[in-house]
Amino acid sequence: MSAWLSAVTSLTGDDMPSVLVTVAAVEGSGPREPGAKMLVTRDGQVDTIGGGHLEMRACEIAREMLNQITTMPAASRRIGRFALGPSLGQCCGGVVHLAFERVDEAQADYYRLLDERRSERETSWRLVALDSTTPPVMLDASGKCIAGSWPATLGAIDVERPCHVLKDAEGKTWLADPCRPYRPHLVLFGAGHVGAAIVRALADLPCHVTWVDERDDMFPASVPTNVRIEATDAPEAVVDEVPPGSTYLVLTHSHALDQRLSEAILRRADAGWFGLIGSKTKRMQFEHRLRDRGIAQERIADMVCPIGVPGITGKQPAVIAASVCAQLLQVWEAEECAQLAQPQRRQFA
């Protein structure tokens, strides 16, 4: 939830109105997951639902909507079923359901609120009637309406599901679309060349980053939208302030600070994956010092050092960043699979 939403909130002039296309459901194999989006304007698009003939056909439908009279229901919202193999010649072979929503000035405040909540890393749910022009509804993580009103005809919503389509008591079709902040949270200590390269490499990846350093002047004038800067004289305090399960990367300008941060992270029982930049020699030195500081060997074993995908040995900051980001994606995807495997079901009603 990033590029398309930023584009929606900045639409002006000829780009308004536009059409938001959402992967509402997937049967079998599809090029993108439920909830993936792209924004289609008369002359271009932002983001992708997977490319190929499916995306080309979706753009055609979106622009047909933009050329229709706005009072026609089909010009505002619709849902379509696309068999990838038979009708589109794509090898995925599954069936994708796409929701189309016209976006114009009447929804500007709605999307600005959604963007504000995204920037604050708050979960939102969108409820959109796909066969009427009923104003869209927005819910917070507890199910409270923060825009619009809960549809009286709509039953309970399983909030653990991804984006999906459901019918209300009158047989009308609704899109239930969770807009969750990215779950992976990286706390990155160090604003040097490698830290800056990692931040750049993570700019378009599904995560958010707290970037920490004592030296305020080391941070660039602008950072990606998924990054927050924390310039502080007490970086160790940040370790305990971030949410449980956060991922840590330590690559500061000082080995002494690296050691203090390593100790603080390993003393936190609910810390997530922890990587420390350095050689095998540095690891051996830190293991000895951490044991002397009372850190249990099983916790020290959780420290990943050296960092990066095995087999990539380049020392250039961009090479290290590519290797480390690939490693982080492996960690985060494994955590996501474990999270989805937990039998937890909550509902809004």
Structure confidence by residue, pLDDT tens digits, 306-325: 999 999 999 999 999 999 99
Residues 173, 228: Cα–Cα separation, whole Å: 39
**Other Cβ atoms closer than 10 A to 189:** 27
In this model, does residue 249 exceed pLDDT 90? yes
Digit-coded pLDDT (tens) for 67-81: 887 767 677 899 999
What percent of the chain is predicted at pLDDT more than 90? 67
pLDDT digits (tens, 9 = 90+) for 182-235: 889 999 999 999 999 999 999 989 899 999 999 999 999 999 988 999 999 999
At residue 345, the pLDDT reads: 58
Reply yes or no on whether the pLDDT at 342 is more than 70. Answer: no
333 vs 159, more confident? 333
pLDDT at 331: 96
pLDDT (0 to 100) of residue 35 = 94
Q: How confident is the model at residue 120 (pLDDT cuts 50, 70, 90)?
A: confident
- Per DSSP, helices labelled H in the chain are 3-9, 52-66, 108-119, 193-202, 235-241, 255-267, 280-292, 297-300, 317-341
Give residue 127's pLDDT: 95
194, 322 in Cβ contact below 8 A? no
CATH topology of domain 185-337: Rossmann fold (3.40.50)
Q: Are 77 and 131 in contact (CB under 8 A)?
A: yes
Mean pLDDT of 247-253: 97
Residues of the chain with CATH 3.40.50.720: 185-337
Mean pLDDT, residues 289-318 taken together: 95
